[in-house]
Amino acid sequence: MKYYLDFIQLINQLISIRLKDESDKYLLLKQNILATYPRTITRQDLVDTHLYLIKKSCLDIAIHSNYSLFRKQFLPEMIQRMATGQLLEDLISTSANVTMVMR
């Protein structure tokens, strides 16, 4: 199976794996990835599948941020900040009423 790896060399971190051939029906994951991240959930009942491996500390920041949409708003900002060496803690909102929608 052929795939693209999106990798940030500055922080030595893999951010995504995309299949080259969109018609492939199976995505093979190495067992060491699942052993390292035992709470990994994959879904195939969607139009397309996204797999996000994110530290709990980053999710905590997402929940307390000003962003209301995780995938479309917070995730791109988080990746940009990580790639440029900026602090993620700056994303934390001072507002008490923040709701994050994870879709």
The DSSP letter of residue 3 is E
CB-based burial label for 74 (10 Å; 0-12, 13-18, 19+): buried
Reported as a single tens digit per residue, the pLDDT across 2-55 is: 555 566 666 666 656 565 555 455 566 677 777 777 777 666 665 666 677 888
CA distance linking residue 49 with residue 24, whole number of Å: 12
Reported as a single tens digit per residue, the pLDDT across 1-13 is: 455 556 666 666 6
Which residues are bridge partners to 8 per DSSP? 13
Structure tokens at 59: 């999710």
Q: What is the per-residue pLDDT for 6?
A: 62
- In contact, 67 and 98? CB cutoff 8 Å: no
